[in-house]
Amino acid sequence: MPQTLHLLKDVCVPAFQTSKVRPQPSDLVGIEGESGCRMLSKTEQPRPESRSRWSTIATFLPVAISVAVACAALSGAGSVDPQTFHFTTEKVGCERFIKTVRISGDVRTFQPAIVFNNCRYRSLRILELVPEGSSVNQGDIICILDSSELQDRLNEQKIRLIRAEAGLATAEVQDSIQRIQNDRRLSNTNSRLTLAQQTLTTFEQAESMMTLEQLGDEVAIKRDMLETACEKHAQTEYLTSLGYNNLAQLDLARTQLHTAQAAFDRAEGALTLKQDFQNPRDLMDLQSAADIARLDAHRAQLLNDRGLAGTKLTKLEMQQKIATIQNYVDDLSRSIKACTIIAPKSGEVIYCHQSDARKMIAVGGLVYYAQDIIRIADRSRMVLSGRVQDTRVYDLSIGQSASVDVANVTSHEYKATLTWIAPVSSRASRYSPGDRYHDVQIELEGEPESLELIALGATADAEVIVDDRDHVMQIPTKAVFSQPDGYAVIVKNATGPERRVIELGNSNDVQVEVLSGLSPGEDVVIDSPHVLRNLADTL
């Protein structure tokens, strides 16, 4: 009670001190008294500070009372009186301890053979289909799809392929003709180039020098003749002056001198003309002819390369066209072959219906590419395909025993063995990315007659035994609670309850193994951890 009053004081006093509420002025205010209610004038009203305080008390008093009652209830619930507490106990046992991991899933056959529409990117109709539930052997024809349209396309592509091969043969002939033309053109241009180069070389090395030598010799001869004529003219002129010769002889000598001088000038002019003008011009003409022949040869080579490139491009285009058509023909041939579906193994035929998408497997029905058509199941080996949380997968190991309950077989429990655990976890749903699971596979054991009772796809629950030991001291998990110094229990002795710290081992969510701290036959209190912890604090 003092604690409650103290709480009321803590709640109310600050409200009294901090309240800023002011009453609204009015002409008349009702005040309750012993005689009921009387009317006060405005001059007889109480002071504003008194009215503000009482308004604040009226506002916060219910809240303070509620808080006080709640605190009293909590303080009363936190303590347990061992004298009045009703103990529910259970004895510490030393018996068989079994820990299992529960796995849910559906029953399937071991490695079933799935037959699907392997006609690439095509949807086809079913012409023939083996009845569902029938048994087939490996190599039997179980489904035939309509391939008439594919056969028509194949015939068209074969015609295109023949035309393309004929076009390739024509291109190869044109390539051969082009090569012959190239050789002839190149031979002619090379011949002209060789002739021009030889003519130029002959002129540079022989013809020009020989002509110049001939003209030089002619100039030398004419010079000698001119010198002779000069000497003869001088002699004749001297003899004429002495009277031995007449003027006619002198005129003849003078005429011969002029003729020799003219011949010498002509020879020297011809040499100069040949050396300074004609030879350079002829040399330039021959060099130009050689350059033109060389350019013609280069142009002929370029024309040959262009012609060969054109024929080669035509051949490549035809080869590419043939390869494209051949790939299409091969694809159509494979698709037509895939329309006849053969059983890859022996077993029972099960249709792969897709009820959600309203796609049922039946004669005349349409199946798209890669759609599963038939599942061939071998009932001699049945497995449970399920999943387990990643926190429990560490208790599992391949080869552990399990018991399986199938939904449609209530009269039989199957023994099984864990055969596979997925090495990588996966999420069960995109809406819960934090929940990770490992896929597992459990193979069922039993006679073929008992396995045939199981409906394929039936749901089943498996209990995988991960720990099985005899003479294990154990207590219920409801008797254990945690405290700062470890795990503890409340032991009921003849003298009363006693708190005791224990060491725990493995747990199966119902019983927990006790390694030390208890003895078989002792009574431990069972209750919620909160109550047990409060009872331990009281003790």
Tokens 């690439």 correspond to what residue?
A: 120
| The pLDDT value given to residue 248 | 87
Give every CB contact of residue 222 below 8 A, 6+ residues apart in sequence: 260, 263, 264, 266, 267, 268
411, 359 contact by CB (below 8 A): no
Which of 436, 447, 438 is CA-nearest to residue 420? Answer: 438
| The pLDDT value given to residue 68 | 52
In 252-407, beta strands by DSSP E: 340-342, 347-351, 366-367, 372-377, 382-389, 401-406
Does the pLDDT of residue 38 top 90, yes or no?
no
CA distance to 182, 306, 412, 453, per residue, from 448 (Å): 82, 78, 13, 9
How open is the CA angle 290-294-297, to the nearest 5 degrees?
140
Does the pLDDT of residue 362 top 70, yes or no?
yes
Give every CB contact of residue 483 below 8 A, 6+ residues apart in sequence: 501, 533, 536
* Longest CA span, the chain: 206
Question: What type of residue sits at position 489?
Answer: V
How open is the CA angle 447-452-453, to the nearest 5 degrees?
105
| The pLDDT value given to residue 65 | 63
| The pLDDT value given to residue 128 | 94
413, 155 contact by CB (below 8 A): no
Question: What type of residue sits at position 81?
Answer: D
Does the pLDDT of residue 504 top 80, yes or no?
yes
Mean pLDDT across the chain, nearest whole number? Answer: 83
Residues 356-376, mean pLDDT to the nearest whole number: 88
What is the spatial distance between Cα 252 and Cα 258, in angstroms, rounded to a whole number? 10
**Angle of the 208-242 helix axis to the 279-338 helix axis, nearest 10:** 170
Tokens 């399990």 correspond to what residue?
A: 402
Over residues 226-247, the pLDDT tens digits come to 999 999 889 888 888 888 878 8
Regarding predicted confidence, which is higher, 150 or 58?
A: 150
CA distance to 47, 50, 54, 191, 363, per residue, from 22 (Å): 10, 10, 11, 128, 90
Any idea what DSSP says for residue 285? Answer: H
> In three state form, how does the secondary structure of 292-334 look?
HHHHHHHHHHHHHHHHHHHHHHHHHHHHHHHHHHHHHHHHHHH
| The pLDDT value given to residue 6 | 36
| The pLDDT value given to residue 122 | 82
What is the spatial distance between Cα 53 and Cα 523, in angstroms, rounded to a whole number? 60
Regarding predicted confidence, which is higher, 258 or 60?
A: 258
Residues 446-461, mean pLDDT to the nearest whole number: 86
**Angle of the 2-18 helix axis to the 48-77 helix axis, nearest 10:** 150
Please, which pLDDT band fits residue 79 given cuts at 50, 70 and 90?
low
Tokens 């409906």 correspond to what residue?
A: 455
Q: Which residues pair with 97 in a beta bridge?
A: 469
Please, which pLDDT band fits residue 170 given cuts at 50, 70 and 90?
very high
| The pLDDT value given to residue 70 | 47
Does the pLDDT of residue 43 top 50, yes or no?
no
Instruction: Tell me the CB-side half-sphere exposure of residue 210, using CA atoms within 13 A.
Output: 6
Sign of the C-alpha dihedral computed for residues 507, 513, 516 and 522 taken in this order:
positive
374, 130 contact by CB (below 8 A): yes
In 110-243, beta strands by DSSP E: 113-116, 124-129, 135-136, 141-145
Give every CB contact of residue 351 below 8 A, 6+ residues apart in sequence: 132, 360, 361, 373, 374, 375
Tokens 């009317």 correspond to what residue?
A: 39
Over residues 265-315, the pLDDT tens digits come to 999 998 899 888 988 898 899 999 999 999 999 999 999 999 999 999 999
| The pLDDT value given to residue 58 | 54
Over residues 387-434, the pLDDT tens digits come to 998 888 998 999 999 999 999 888 888 999 999 999 999 887 778 888
| The pLDDT value given to residue 22 | 38
Does the pLDDT of residue 86 top 70, yes or no?
yes
pTM greater than 0.85 (yes/no): no
What is the spatial distance between Cα 396 and Cα 388, in angstroms, rounded to a whole number? 10
Checking DSSP bridges between strand 401-406 and strand 113-116, what pairing results, if any? unpaired
The full length of the chain comes to 539
Cite the DSSP H helix spans in 418-479: 448-451
What is the spatial distance between Cα 81 and Cα 297, in angstroms, rounded to a whole number? 122
Quick count: other Cβ atoms within 10 Å of Cβ 423? 7
Any idea what DSSP says for residue 245? Answer: S
| The pLDDT value given to residue 59 | 59
What is the spatial distance between Cα 340 and Cα 142, in angstroms, rounded to a whole number? 8
Percent of the chain with pLDDT over 70: 84
| The pLDDT value given to residue 60 | 55
